[in-house]
Amino acid sequence: MALIMNALKANPVYQFFTSLRLTVTLLLISLVIIFFGTLAQEPMGLNIAVERYFKSFFIDAHAAEAGWFMLLKLFQVEGTPLTPEQIINPGLPIFPGGYLIGTLLLINLGVAYYDRFEWSAKKAGIYLTHIGIVTLLIGQVFTDLLQEESFVHMERGDRRNYTVSFDDNELALMLPIGASNRVVSVPEQMLKDKLNIQHPDLAGLTVETKQYWRNARPMTVSQLIDLDRDEQQALRQAKVDQVFAVIQTRITALEERLQKSPHPENRKALTTLKGRVFQQRAEAIELRTLADLLGRVGQMEMEILGLGESDQQLIINQKNLRDMLVAARTFDDQRTIGDLFKGAVKDNLAEGTLEEFNEHADNFVPTLRNFPGGAGDKMIESAGKFIVRIKHRAEKFHTGTTKGRLGDYFRFVQPLAPAFDQNDRNQPVAVLEISHKGEPLGTWLASCTSEFQQSISVGDQKWKLILRPKRHYLGFHLTLVNLKWEKYRGTEIPKNFQSRVIVERSSESRPVDISMNEPLREGGQTFYQYQMNQDQLGATVQTVLQVVKNPNWRTAYIGCLIVALGLIYQFLFHLIGFARKRKKVNG
């Protein structure tokens, strides 16, 4: 046995895992992970940063890039921010993550104890402290795996027996049976993976995901046209900003020229002109006003610099500025065309198909001259460009739904960038093809932005369909009877949030006050007072409770207790030993 142990201790792998250098290295790496993981929370959001840095075995390239970008930003160095796609989709693993470092530390501690452990009352407190730390580390892993966080939103008089997830969603198919419902819950991941959804309780119904968006906005025809209009406004404003930037640069150059000028009237006129530029930039400027400003700056250049009208450096002679104004005018025409088209189709396309939309679009240009006031060649040309663009956008965003009131109203879907902020929520949208025993029933639109339940008729059965935040059922009911929002006098700073609820079980019913520092613990869950919402008049109308379910909650207390006992034992052992030595010396 001794030979085996000696051979084991001589093994390089064994020596590596018992090395103190490994311990120090792992601790240093953990500090790096904590530092960059904290920085990455701003561009990636708290939840994603925690997942990719601390709850993973390796940190991917995109997560590392987010932390590096924020470090450069701290030192005011320009970097390239991550795109939403990079934040969502992990890159190649390039650095150890929190789980890997924690696992190696546990192995290092266990092997080191096996190699060097010798029982001693003098070190019993240290041993106990290490056991407590190991308990905390292992307990945190189980907490990550088992803990569920959700929320419950309630107004006065509301009664709830469930909470909702902030991040996860579900497709619920419900069949009313008497006073209750048969509910089949489909996880959002199955929609994302576009799996064929079947279940014995669905009685032959099959759901297939045709399209899925993690975050999107259903749109009507009017909203589709408004989207194009808003884009044209943004493009116009970009051109106007470019012109203003040139004006500001030239005015600054003239101010520097006039600093030592003996002509105070020029300085006064330039100051007046500069004030007008700032005033106009803050307003929704008309293009004719902007052209007038260009002319005035050009005249100032002629007067101050003593230049002739033929000088090509004059601001009024710059072709690129004239082109910017022409482009801005073109965007104005495009927005006008959008308004005309919207007025022509909004009344008869509320439930139109893509083919009907394209037919209206094709007929729009030939009939444009019949609008009051007529239309010139430039307007006809702008209308042609608009129709090409709006038809392409309609084809790109069209849902192709054939059934359901939601799909009849919202014919288009605009994909949005995923939400990363802790207070923002993704609103998924899905296009679902539903069949019954192989017979197609149609295509429905489902969206988390609407709580509207759509109907699916199968014989004498009428199923309900809704895409909603995932529900966690409690096993009891909560009824909100009152809420209180106290503020510090003379400020808007919250002093106290408090909700009075009635906890209802089959055997009892009792009132409970939930405040910021006094949560409710019931049924293995803890209800914390999270926030309160007000209506437009400032009245407090809704309370939000954060609900945490952690079956492993005792482990943290046990680990802390073991650590505390170890430290107390170690302190008392040395204190008593020191007192005995002192007594012996004095005796």
Task: List pLDDT tens digits, range 76-87.
Answer: 888 788 887 788
Measured CA to CA, the distance from residue 72 to residue 61 in angstroms comes to 16
What percentage of the chain carries pLDDT values higher than 90?
A: 29
Residue 536 has pLDDT above 90, yes or no: no
Measured CA to CA, the distance from residue 49 to residue 64 in angstroms comes to 10
In this predicted structure, what is the pLDDT of residue 211?
A: 93
What percentage of the chain carries pLDDT values higher than 70?
A: 91
pLDDT tens figures, 336-361:
888 888 877 765 555 567 888 888 88
Residue 309 has pLDDT above 60, yes or no: no
pLDDT tens figures, 191-207:
999 988 998 888 889 99
Contacts of 122 (CB under 8 A, 6+ apart): 573
pLDDT tens figures, 393-404:
989 999 888 888
Residue 452 has pLDDT above 90, yes or no: no
Measured CA to CA, the distance from residue 234 to residue 228 in angstroms comes to 10
Among the ranges given (193-197, 378-382, 414-418), the one the predictor scored with the smallest mean pLDDT: 378-382
In this predicted structure, what is the pLDDT of residue 587?
A: 60
More confident residue, 544 or 315: 544
Q: What is the mean pLDDT of residues 284-289?
A: 73
- Planar angle of CA 420, 423, 427, nearest 5 degrees: 65
Among the ranges given (113-127, 369-383, 415-429), the one the predictor scored with the smallest mean pLDDT: 369-383
Q: Which residues pair with 163 in a beta bridge?
A: 472
Contacts of 134 (CB under 8 A, 6+ apart): 106, 109
Q: Please provide residue 389's backbone torsions phi and psi, each rounded to the nearest 5 degrees.
A: -70, -45
Residue 216 has pLDDT above 90, yes or no: yes
In this predicted structure, what is the pLDDT of residue 414?
A: 92
Q: Please provide residue 270's backbone torsions phi and psi, each rounded to the nearest 5 degrees.
A: -70, -40
More confident residue, 112 or 158: 158
In this predicted structure, what is the pLDDT of residue 255?
A: 79
Measured CA to CA, the distance from residue 303 to residue 430 in angstroms comes to 64
Residue 558 has pLDDT above 90, yes or no: yes
Residue 310 has pLDDT above 60, yes or no: no
For the chain, the average pLDDT equals 84
> CB-side exposure of 184: number of CA atoms within 13 Å?
16
